[in-house]
Amino acid sequence: MFFRPVFAVLILSSVGLFANSTNQPIRFTGAPTDGGQTCAMCHTQSASSPGSGSMSLDIQSYTPGVAQMIHVTITDPQATRWGFQLTARIVNNETLEAGTLTSADTANVQVVCDDGSTTGSPAPCNGQREFAEHITAPRNGGSSFIFNVNWTPPSTEVGKIVFYYSGVAANNDNGPLGDHVYTGSLVIPVVAACNNNSRTAKPTLQKPINGGSFSDLLAGRGMWAVKGLNFTVSGLTRMAGAGDLVNNAFPTQLACVAVEITPPGGSPIRAPITYVQADQINIQAPDLPAGQVNLVVIENPDLPNELRSDVGTVTVQDLAPAFFTLNGTSIAAQFVGTANVVATPDVVPGATPAKVGDIVTLYGMGFGPTDPTVDVGALAPGGAKTTNTVTVTIGSITVADSDVFYAGLVPTAISGLYQINVRIPAGTPNGNIPVTATVNGVSTQPGATIPIQSM
């Protein structure tokens, strides 16, 4: 649950662009996942007559499933014709459409679907990426024009949403020169996502487990999987992404859920959350002393309809190292410096075993303090090595310290995720070979293996 591998430009004249709806190219909003093209690919403003106008959207936030109208305003005192294109994407995955666009002005606005063709196909799009755009560029001798677009957000909270847009304020000379192009992007947050007063059953806490070994061995700063029932709406899954980060750190509330941990004699601490579903929440535990701590799951935190689970008592160790696995036994591993997975094809299609002499990256958690120290929930910098020596044993062979090239946090990942770069030692036999990593006398879980197949 925790492991994730870290692992033609069109040249058209303004006559073609503005003549009719069937000739307009899509993917010209500036969205990076669409290639980053804008209307400036076809319309060129004069250096001696730059645009003095602007383009804007009047939307600030969204409530899941609640439709609203977007006014797309282009202002330019020198223009007489107007055009635009707009798309909405989920910040956590900008290849995905965010909600549904429809025309609020069928004389001037249409919605087309990204079916892979140059100009797209008419809506409805049924999950394909959508573009709202002008039909035939309206003439207006004033200083601005407003296009009206209806937008219905996704029915569930998906984090921040970004609108990419590009517009043309044209001089109507039937050529691409001398027009003014305005582009931009607007990121909006979700609001009112947790005001679901129909939910009255409080969350049921069962227990947290080690996110790597799935055992009861837990330590501060480790990745925990909190198990239970009724944490959120049945069927909902929510993974934190780039759009959820706050000051380069994972959020302490996700999908209307928070996890609060209280050390002995201390104040409650909300844990960074990476994933939520109805029966599991993945968190990074805060810094905690060894001993017993209290844990509670909160739905709709800090709102009038807040629901709290019963308080659970958890025993915390000083260290609880573990490997992440792909199937419960095969360690999550890659050939160093690549995205190629170390596994047998029956575990991961297309993967290959390692061989003697290969350098592999093993992913795990709980290997203790690092230098530099990285805040809980924050993204690690380019490198943060463990301050304690990590000893690796592959099969019956203890790997020489000189062949453990790095043990520390995974760069640009949450600070609870570690990697160990190690060379497979000579003499390692073929097969699914057990691997352990030991720090301060505490070892990773038994039964974790990597496949070896040497020539």
Distance CA 285, CA 273 (A): 9
pLDDT mean over 180-190: 90
Q: Is the pLDDT of residue 67 over 90?
A: yes
Phi, psi dihedrals of residue 39, rounded to the nearest 5°: -60, -15
From residue 399, alpha-carbon distances to 343, 391, 396, 402, 445 in Å are 20, 7, 10, 8, 18
Q: Which of 222, 225, 229, 228 is nearest to 214 (CA)?
A: 225
Strand 291-299 to 307-308 pairing: antiparallel
Q: Is the pLDDT of residue 8 over 50?
A: no
Question: Do the Cβ atoms of 319 and 442 come closer than 8 Å?
Answer: yes
- The per-residue pLDDT for range 384-418, each reduced to its tens digit, is 999 999 999 999 999 999 999 999 999 999 999 99
Q: Is the pLDDT of residue 14 over 60?
A: no
Distance CA 453, CA 128 (A): 43
Distance CA 284, CA 268 (A): 15
Each domain of the chain, given as residue ranges in start order, spans 14-188, 204-320, 323-452
What's the CATH fold of domain 14-188? Immunoglobulin-like (2.60.40)
Q: Where do we find the tokens 């790095």? A: 406
Q: What is the pLDDT of residue 59?
A: 92
Whether 204-320 and 14-188 are alike in CATH topology: the answer is yes
User: What angle (nearest 5°) sits at the alpha carbon of residue 60, between those of residues 59 and 65?
Assistant: 80
Q: What is the pLDDT of residue 37?
A: 87
pTM above threshold 0.85: no
Q: What is the pLDDT of residue 415?
A: 95
Q: What is the pLDDT of residue 276?
A: 92
CATH match of 204-320 with 3.40.50.1100 = no
The torsion region of residue 416 among left (phi > 0), alpha (psi -120 to 50) and beta comes to alpha
Token pair recorded at residue 99:
């909600």
Token pair recorded at residue 329:
């036994």
- Split at pLDDT 50, 70, 90, the class of 9 is very low
Q: What is the pLDDT of residue 46?
A: 55
pLDDT mean over 23-46: 81
- The per-residue pLDDT for range 348-374, each reduced to its tens digit, is 999 999 999 999 999 999 999 999 999
End-to-end CA gap in the chain: 33
Q: Which of 390, 370, 389 is nearest to 381 (CA)?
A: 370
Token pair recorded at residue 190:
């979700």
Q: Select the more confidently predicted residue: 74 or 19.
A: 74
- The per-residue pLDDT for range 208-239, each reduced to its tens digit, is 999 999 999 999 999 999 999 999 888 888 88
List, as own/partner pairs, every contact residues 31-38 make where C-beta atoms lie below 8 angstroms and the sequence separation is at least 24, other chains included: 31/87, 31/89, 31/94, 31/164, 32/94, 33/89, 33/94, 33/95, 34/87, 34/129, 37/9, 38/166, 38/181, 38/183
Q: Is the Cα dihedral 104, 105, 109, 114 positive or negative?
A: positive
Q: Is the pLDDT of residue 120 over 60?
A: yes
Which range among 7-11, 87-91, 270-274, 321-325 shows the weakest confidence by mean pLDDT? 7-11
pLDDT mean over 125-152: 86
Q: DSSP letters along 245-267, please?
A: -BTTB--S-BTTEEEEEE-TTS-
DSSP class of 352:
B
High-pLDDT (> 70) share of the chain, % = 89
Token pair recorded at residue 376:
């809980």
Question: Do the Cβ atoms of 75 and 54 come closer than 8 Å?
Answer: yes
- Split at pLDDT 50, 70, 90, the class of 50 is low
Q: Is the pLDDT of residue 12 over 70?
A: no
Question: Do the Cβ atoms of 196 and 300 come closer than 8 Å?
Answer: yes
User: What angle (nearest 5°) sits at the alpha carbon of residue 402, between those of residues 401 and 403?
Assistant: 90
pLDDT mean over 125-150: 85
pLDDT mean over 165-189: 81
DSSP class of 142:
S
Within its chain, how far is the Cα of 14 from the centroid?
38
High-pLDDT (> 90) share of the chain, % = 62
Token pair recorded at residue 194:
């947790």
| One-letter identity of residue 23 | N
- The per-residue pLDDT for range 279-303, each reduced to its tens digit, is 999 999 999 999 999 999 999 888 8
Distance CA 392, CA 146 (A): 65
Token pair recorded at residue 13:
């004249």
- Split at pLDDT 50, 70, 90, the class of 51 is low
Q: What is the pLDDT of residue 236?
A: 80
pLDDT mean over 251-280: 93
- The per-residue pLDDT for range 309-356, each reduced to its tens digit, is 999 999 999 999 999 999 999 999 999 999 999 999 999 999 999 999
Token pair recorded at residue 296:
């509670």
Question: Do the Cβ atoms of 307 and 286 come closer than 8 Å?
Answer: no
Q: Which of 192, 176, 172, 170 is nearest to 66 (CA)?
A: 192
Highest mean pLDDT pick, 56-70, 95-109, 175-189, 354-368 = 354-368
From residue 316, alpha-carbon distances to 36, 57, 377 in Å are 49, 50, 18
Distance CA 167, CA 83 (A): 6
Distance CA 319, CA 368 (A): 7
Q: What is the pLDDT of residue 177?
A: 64
Q: What is the pLDDT of residue 212?
A: 94
